[in-house]
Structure 1
């Protein structure tokens, strides 16, 4: 089985199919992300070596400067075309290759071309607090009229009549002498009379004013951090 130790020796090797026929020569080696294990060989095929085909090499055998792979030459010729961008091929293109060769699609599918500095990257995320406002009902205010009875004292001038005897001298015959006689006078007085009337004294209304104040809110947010872990498998 081919592993990382064979990478440098794979370039320009002849690729032989499962019937001993030459498929082409290796021009690039594609590695599996994360493990660095050789997965695919980009092989130049055709009469003048102008066509590029991808051949699975993880189950191949290296011997005598050639790689023997467990697939047929015709199957390689019919493999789907892969248009790589840089040092990666898309997941869809890799899945198409796995299906074509009848291989199980692994968890990590994207190959990576062998190069001096391999890169591994992860995307870190963190939560942010989005603070806004919303209107909530805090209470209701209404105007209610009540009738209140109170006592009022008002001084009113009143007039009444009184009897006063006025004596005046009489000249001549002024009436019957020595006869009983009565005279009546009707007396009057004013009495207070209370009448009530209703009149508007004032108008009361409610108005709302918006008051802005500062409030502090707090909340818990999560964020991702990365630690580099190294598995050292060298024996002492």
Structure 2
């Protein structure tokens, strides 16, 4: 165990495993009765940091990114499940030492009767639940207060990519009809009677011809490209309510009254 570690620099620091993977954050620091140096820490892991697991500090050292321990993240995840809010029994302590392949002190060996603890907490709240404890709760002096704590959910949001949209322009061909007025010339025979002085004149009878040129309009189609509208992709932010859930723990008080001859009553 590194002798340079101090409880105040461990609390709320990141814990990094032997492979460089982050395990979680330090919750509680436990000191050895013999050396008075940090020996165990609890690490908050899981969703919202609700799970706490015991991690040994043997061979640990401090670096800029946190506390580097000599065990793996998988070992911590597979550690025996214990309740860090209650005292550990001798059997639970022995399981922790065995899981991490550490020599267990006599206080951590399971016995029929309890023995004194081998470690005590420092830096954060919590009295029992440490390796080597006997499982007996510590009594408080008369008038001394206890603090009741509870866990609460704290939600946050993260901006993640959900998809991409592309705007693509392509050409289609369709049939279109346009009505165009066209005109043409036709021959019309115009007649008018001879009057006046022309009636007294004579004309030779013979063949004669007259030629008139006729015209008509023909429709012609031409095409031109003209802009009609502008289209672009835009984004708008839509806010909606989404419910998330998670398990939280809270502490409760239970009052037990001791009577002289009538036993105890809650």
When normalised by structure 1's length, the TM-score is 0.44
Greater gyration radius: 1
TM-score, L = length of structure 2: 0.39
